[in-house]
Structures are given as C-alpha cells and as structure tokens.
Amino acid sequence: MADPETISIHQTVTLQEITVDYTPELCTHSSETNEITVLFDERGGSRWRTKNRYQYGTFGANIKCPDGNTNGLNFNLYLSSLEGDKSQDAIHFEFLGNNKGIVQTNYMTAGTANGSEQINDLGFDCSDGFHDYEIKWEKEFIEWSIDGKCIRRVDREDGVEFPEKAMFLYASVWDASAIAEGEWSGIYEGGDAPYACVYKDVRVPLLTSVDVADREFHPEHLIHQTLLLKEIAVDYTPEVCTHTLDTNEITVLYDERGGSRWRTKTRYQYGTFGANIKCPDGNTNGLNFNLYLSSLEGDKAQDEIDFEFLGNNKGVVQTNHYTDGTGNKEQIHDLGFDCSDGFHDYEIKWSKDYIEWSVDGKIIRRDDNEDSAEFPGKAMFLYASIWDASGINEGGWTGIYEGSDAPYTCMYKDVRVPLLTALPEEDSEDLVC
C-alpha cells in the first residue's frame, strides 16, 4: 500500500465520467475501451469536459487527430477554469488543422495569454496514430509533454500572474476559420468530413478534484476513496458468469451446471468495498449468495470479511469476519426488505482499527480492533459467488436446495474497490485453493 504521506498530487486515474457541453450526438464515450470520440460534420463539432475542476496535478490522453484535409479546424486538449469566461485561467494543447505536424501550447491568466503562445514541432503527423499528450501543472510551474518527452516548461516568476484557479479538463473540435481571417488554422473546406478526433485513456489527478481538496488530507480518508471495478477473474464455471462493462454489471447464474465465483484480480490492504446487489428471485432454499473479502478463498488460514445471504430467508443478511481461518463472529441482521426485490447497496469499510458493514448507507455493524491477533490484517481479494450450501448443518443454515425456480440470477452493479490500496500480484497462478 502506498504511504499516504508520500502520495503526489501528480498521481492519476483513468477518467470515468464526462459532461458534453453541446451537440451530444457528436460525442461518444465508451467505458469499455476508455475512448472518447468527437466528430465534426455538417452539424458542427462538440465539446466534452470533466465533471469536476482540479487544483493542480497531471492531465493527459492518447490522442489521434482527424484524418484528411482538416483546414480550418481546431482540435485540442486543455484546462480551463470555465470555458467562455472572460477572466478564465487556462492551459492548452491546440492542434491547427492546416498543419498537423505542429501543436500550439499556451496558458492564460484572468483571460489574458500575455503572448504565451508557442508553436512546437511534433516530428510526426498528429493524425497518423495515437500519441500521448500531457500537462503537468503545479503552483510553481507548467510542463507540456508529448510521448513522455517534455517539450516546454514555464516557471512561475515573482510578480507575474500564473494560472491558479481550479480548472476542468476540456476537449473539442471546432471551426476556427474566422480566427485571424484563416491564418491560424486555415479556411474550412470539409472535403473529408466527417472528421473524428479520438481521445483514449484520458487521465486526471487522483487527489486534487476540488471535491477532494476541500476535505481534510488525511490517510484515513485516502484509503477509503473508491473507483469502479473494471476487470474480474472467474475462478470456476465461467460460462455462468458475465461481466458487462457498458452497464457495470456482473451476473452470476445458478442452474444444473452449478454456480460460479468471481473476484478482483488484485488484493487490497484496507479500504472501502461495495456493490449494488439484486439477489435471486424465487425459491432459493439451500443457496448462499454473497459479497466478501478473503486473503485466499479455500486457504485454511485465510482472513475474511463477509456479507452472506441465506437462501431460506431473504429478509436477513449474515455478517462475519475471520482471522487465520477462525471466525465464529456471525451476526444475523434484519434487512427490512426482501433482498431479491431490487438493487440495494452493500458496503464493507475496513481499516486496521475497525470494520463497518453498511446497507443502503446505514451502518448495521461495527467491530473495533481490540486485539490485533484476532483481527483481519492480511491483504484480501473481493469475491462473490452463488453455491449450494445445503450440506451446512444438514440444511440448518440456508435450507435444502429444491431448484424449482432455476436458473437463479444474482446481479452485482457498480462494484467499487479502493483507489490506493491495491497490491501487485507477483504470480496470478495458484490463486484458487
């Protein structure tokens, strides 16, 4: 786990959500491929931006500029405190349609560029393929980099205004023919329309969103920041487990083939884990469906933290935790609803000092670490499964499986895991005992 005291404002995360300011039909965002595409045709262009402003940090994207005769067009990636505001601060990469072998960089303070425009030779045609463009912005300097090489740096000087307002990340394609009577980007002809500018793997600062910066910068807060889970491993029966990135849904079936179990690809050392879950409909006697953390499923010395749904009573959920394979801390909680009636949010918040289980934002249990020898401390995967638990206590736990309403479907939506506490897996094999 990263030491929160050494976390840099330049740590980044892949952008998950955008806002489209105009002509949304010309802007598409695929969460599966992490691509944003902006078109320009007879309807004009479009502009997207982040939903939040950021106060310093690193911003970047792999960009493929439009093919063909792009005279007159401007395509870009830039920061602005508010596009259209005459007193905006801004930092730009601007591609000029009449010369795709260059890029213009500049910055603005309180709406004034002060002659900061600079033309930079790329050494390639920006439409030939994807290249990486990055802006690194601090209180004391700005750096523009392409494919990992810094092409320009501006340091703050005493008494000289410098961008410092919190800014959105923007990108657009527009007709700039009227700027300097066409001398800037040329005159639009449109012979090769429609034009497509593609932004891939857009990255923004992890910590400097104004929503985050306004909170106390404290390690306890940092380890509980989350992001949506994008990749899973399926331990068995992959044909009954599906993961749909477009809807952020994982579906596990139980039928004559049995059930399945999915997990994260990495372990985490503390943090917040959760999902919106809709449990299976019908007569689920005998089945167990769940969401839980485990250092390694099947290991007799595992640490574990559980939400477990019992098929013979869908109005309750069982919580539990294990240390070195020993549990005996089961508690049954009345949900106040049938867990199969719709989606409800289930969350585990785990630190070295406590564990909290919450349902729909309400804490239903908290255990404090009073004896570290009996408290989960091993790094853990997030798991979920459906299985026939009829053999536990001769059916006394979940009932006896009947299967009259098979197939059974458990759905996990918007699964979230910690941003900062993942640990690298040295060997992805031998993860199933």
Same domain, 64 and 203: yes
**Omega into 194 within 30° of 0, i.e. cis?**
yes
Q: What angle do CA 343, 239, 230 make, to 5 degrees?
A: 55
The answer to whether residues 147 and 274 belong to one domain is no
Number of separate domains in the chain: 2
Token readout for 131 is 């290249």
The answer to whether residue 433 sits within a structural domain is no
332 and 233 within one domain: yes
Same domain, 36 and 77: yes
Whole-model pTM: value is: 0.58
Residue 172: beta bridge partners?
Answer: 47
109 in a structural domain: yes
User: Is 368 within the bounds of a domain?
Assistant: yes
Q: In this structure, is residue 227 part of a structural domain?
A: yes
Q: Of the candidates 197, 215, 233, which is a domain's last residue? A: 215
CA distance 124 to 101: 6
CB–CB of 92/106 below 8 Å? yes
> Do 22 and 117 belong together in one domain?
yes
* Residue tagged active-site, from 94, 134, 297, 304: 304
Query: Is the domain of 153 the same as that of 70?
Result: yes
Same structural domain, 204 and 79: yes
Residue 373 pLDDT more than 80?
A: no
Residue pair 90/78 in contact (Cβ under 8 Å)? The answer is yes
In a domain, 409, yes or no: yes
Instruction: Give the pLDDT band of residue 31 (cuts 50, 70, 90).
Output: confident
| 252 lies in the same domain as 329 | yes
- Pick the more confident residue, 221 or 378: 378
Nearest partner of 338 among 255, 397, 420, 279, judged by Cα: 279
- Could you report the per-residue pLDDT of 389-412, keeping only the tens digit for each? 999 999 999 999 999 999 999 999
pLDDT at 32 > cutoff 90: no
pLDDT tens by residue, 324-350: 999 989 999 999 999 999 999 999 999
Supply 53's token pair. Answer: 């402003």
Residue 333 Cα distances to 92, 254, 306, angstroms: 54, 25, 13
Please state the rounded mean pLDDT for residues 27-55: 95
Residue 250 covered by a domain: yes
The distance between the two most distant Cα atoms of the chain, rounded to a whole number of Å, is 84
Q: Tell me: pLDDT of 304 over 50.
A: yes
Active site residue 308: yes
- Note the pLDDT tens digit of each residue in 73-97: 999 999 999 999 999 999 999 999 9
CA atoms within 13 A on the CB side of 75: 26
End-to-end CA separation in angstroms for the chain: 25
- Judge contact between 229 and 243, C-beta under 8 A: no
* pLDDT score, position 426: 53
Query: Between these two residues, 9 and 260, which has the higher pLDDT value?
Result: 260
Confidence at residue 220, expressed as pLDDT on a 0 to 100 scale: 61
Nearest Cα neighbor of 320 from 333, 307, 335, 337 is: 307
- What is the structure's pLDDT at 7? 53
Inside any domain, residue 55: yes
In this predicted structure, the answer to whether residue 428 has a pLDDT above a threshold of 50 is no
- Could you tell me which residues are beta bridge partners of residue 24? none
User: Cα–Cα–Cα angle for 242, 307, 342, nearest 5°?
Assistant: 60
**Shared-domain flag, residues 139 and 245:** no
CATH number of the domain residue 264 falls in: 2.60.120.200
List the catalytic residue out of 94, 297, 308, 347.
Answer: 308
Chain centroid to Cα 297, Å, comes to: 26
Tell me: do 239 and 188 sit in the same domain: no
- 23 inside domain: yes
Residues 73 and 183 in one domain: yes
Domain range for 86: 8-215
- On whether both 71 and 209 belong to a single domain, the answer is yes
